[in-house]
Amino acid sequence: MKFIVCENHSHLAEVISDLIIQQVMSKPDSVICIPTGGTPIPAYQRLIEKSKNIDYSRVSFFNLDEYIGLPPTHEQSYQNFLKKHVLDPLGIALSQQHLLRSDSPDPILECLRNDAEIDYFGGFDLMLDGIGENGHIAFNEPSDHFEARTHIADISTSTRLANARFFDSLDEVPHQAISVGFEDIIKAKHLILMATGSRKASVIERLVTESTISCDFPISFLRMHPNVTLVLDKAACGRSIDVLINTGQSL
């Protein structure tokens, strides 16, 4: 695991947007899986600002996960979020947007459709993801098993509480979501994880100091991934900051 320690959230946005651009410049037909959440928004803003001369016409975009049951026009539908914050401003054609549907009449079929599309494109060249306060990755929540492929996930109470800030009330936060699984995460050629703020410090400390892999701490699975870059701001490093700065790249 490679670490990059940034000064703050806006600095992290610079680093993440540069990494995405480097990926597209080195492989113009890249298959990229992108996240929602509060962490990537400034990175998407910087990406849009820096992309005037970048050709995205052959890039395919997927998303990591999607709530079940929200209308696609809902502010918190992840499809809507990604279109608004990054895909439409970058001018990504609909044919390049391979997004999960929140209103699919048959979520199991939607999972199978997503797997078939991922397979058709040969998996992800780059997967970008935030980190949940409970160690989840996408909607792979702490559990007693790992899911390999796209699946229906029960959203934990802690994640519903964390995400309630994006809704008018906790009651509005869906109880289920569709999420990519660990097989597609581990097969991504490059996985970039990002975390900012002291809310993430305890999960980062645990990731850095423990060495076990366990489904009750899903992010621990990434210890098996051969090419992970963890991009953090100083607040997210918590008490591990010295270790991270010494073993990683401090920008």
Enzyme catalytic residues: 65, 134, 136, 141
Closest to ligand PGA by CB, 31 vs 131, is: 131
Q: Which of 42, 107, 132, 174 binds ligand PGA (CB under 6 A)?
A: 132
The answer to the question of residue 37 lying near ligand PGA (CB under 6 A) is: yes
Closest to ligand PGA by CB, 113 vs 197, is: 197
Closest to ligand PGA by CB, 57 vs 87, is: 87
Give residue number: closest CB to ligand PGA: 37
**Runs of H (alpha helix) within 51-135:** 78-82, 107-120
Judge whether 114 and 101 are in contact, CB under 8 Å: no
Least separation in angstroms between CB 130 and ligand PGA: 3
Distances (CA, A) of 242 to 3, 131, 210, 239: 12, 21, 16, 8
Judge whether 107 and 69 are in contact, CB under 8 Å: no
Stretch of 22-30, 36-44, 203-211, 215-223 lying at the interface with ligand PGA (CB under 6 A): 36-44
Q: Tell me which residues in 71-130 interact with ligand PGA (CB under 6 A).
A: 130
Judge whether 44 and 136 are in contact, CB under 8 Å: no
CA distance 68 to 70: 6
The answer to the question of residue 248 lying near ligand PGA (CB under 6 A) is: no
Dihedral class, residue 101 (left if φ above 0, else alpha if ψ from -120 to 50, else beta): beta
What is the amino acid identity at position 169? Answer: S
Least separation in angstroms between CB 25 and ligand PGA: 26
Closest to ligand PGA by CB, 59 vs 162, is: 162
Least separation in angstroms between CB 193 and ligand PGA: 9
**Runs of H (alpha helix) within the chain:** 9-26, 41-50, 78-82, 107-120, 157-163, 182-187, 201-209, 234-237, 241-247
Least separation in angstroms between CB 168 and ligand PGA: 17
Least separation in angstroms between CB 165 and ligand PGA: 8
Q: Which of 38, 72, 123, 142 binds ligand PGA (CB under 6 A)?
A: 38
Judge whether 14 and 251 are in contact, CB under 8 Å: no
Binding site for ligand PGA (CB under 6 A): 37-39, 130-132
